[in-house]
Amino acid sequence: MAYEVEVRARLEVDAKEIVARYPRSRSAMLPILHLVQAEEGYVSPDGIEFCAEVLDVATAEVAAVATFYTMYKRHPNGDYTVGVCTNTLCAIMGGDQIFATLKDHLGVGHDETTDDGKVTLEHLECNAACDYAPVMMVNWEFFDNQTPESATALVDDLRAGREVRPTRGPRLCTFSEVSRVLAGFPDDLADEGPSAGPATLLGLELFRAQEASAAEPAVPAKKKTATKKASSRKTAAAVDTGGEGTSAHDAPLDTAESDRANDATPGTEETER
């Protein structure tokens, strides 16, 4: 079943704006897939057909792209995609346990949605937030340092319609709203909420502290030269007087040149005989 006339007319206006951003129309495929996903909450057969018509490509080409990227859903998705990172660090820090707990609590598995249509649960690969492991994401917003208990409370709040704030970033939007943003239509929330947490900024703070401690007053060049000359004179005096601290490398050595009584010139002993 194709889109209704009103829906199609609205999507065509947005699609035209998207296509105009690119030198070639087919380059707009990814954002237009996000656009149709924003309409129905997933990339439906109607969405694939619409995308193919707008870009003048085969539906098979569109379907190939839509099935390649995991951000495109091929069946109805929940209002909130709850992703649990189960990659190496998050897994050993508790990610596997969190996923198992939510799976039992929600009664769904990977890429499955609760009966009320609120939550879709999924495994996530690394989201480059290892300093906050174990990490969860809800519609790609971060929830750091999670536990099975905090994760359970989070999904319960989402299903109950209570306000939930990410650890970092802007307020939560629905999956469809986020898909429209990814299509290239900003929601003006980009600067809302903290963008970096203490663990992210720790390295920068340590660097600045080291820079501050290293910033000492520079010694004038003349003073450095005078100090070097004084040190050289002191060393020479110690060698001349055999003073304390003289190294074997500083004193004259008994060689053939300095000790005529023990001439080491080859053949000297035979000549004397």
Residue 154's domain is classified under what CATH number?
Answer: 3.40.30.10
Is residue 45, in this structure, part of any structural domain at all?
Answer: yes
Same-domain pairing of 53 and 109: no
The answer to the question of residue 135 being in a domain is yes
- Residue 247, domain member (yes or no): no
Q: What are 262's two structure tokens?
A: 């023990």
Same domain, 53 and 9: yes
pLDDT (0 to 100) of residue 263: 56
Positions in the chain whose pLDDT score sits under 70: 1, 216-273
The separation between CA 12 and the C-alpha centre of its own chain, rounded to angstroms, equals 36
Considering the domain architecture, whether residues 44 and 18 belong to the same structural domain is answered as yes
* Residue 94 and residue 26 in one domain: no
Q: Are residues 170 and 85 in the same domain?
A: yes
Whether 170 and 107 share a structural domain: yes
Domain limits for position 96 = 80-174+196-200
- Is 246 contained in some domain? no
**80-85, strands of its sheet edge to edge:** 112-113, 119-124, 80-85, 136-138, 141-143
The domain boundary residue, chosen from 132, 166, 200 = 200
Given 200, 216, 247, the domain boundary residue is 200
Residues 54 and 129 in one domain: no
Q: Which residues contact 176 (CB under 8 A, 6 or more apart)?
A: 37, 38, 39, 40, 41, 79
Phi, psi of 207, deg, nearest 5: -60, -45
> What would the pLDDT profile of 86-119 be if each residue is shown by its tens digit?
999 999 999 999 999 999 999 999 999 999 999 9
Q: What is the pLDDT of residue 33?
A: 98
Residues 167 and 128 in one domain: yes
**Given this model, what pLDDT does residue 243 score?**
47
Tally the domains of the chain: 2
What the block records as the tokens of 5 is: 């006339």
- For residue 234, is it within any domain? no
Q: Is the pTM of this model over 0.75?
A: no
The answer to the question of residue 182 being in a domain is no
Kindly state whether residues 91 and 156 are assigned to the same domain.
yes
CATH of the domain at 33: 1.10.10
In a domain, 233, yes or no: no
Where among 160, 184, 200 does a domain terminate?
200
Tell me, yes or no, whether 51 lies in a domain.
Answer: yes
The reported pLDDT for the residue numbered 262 is 56
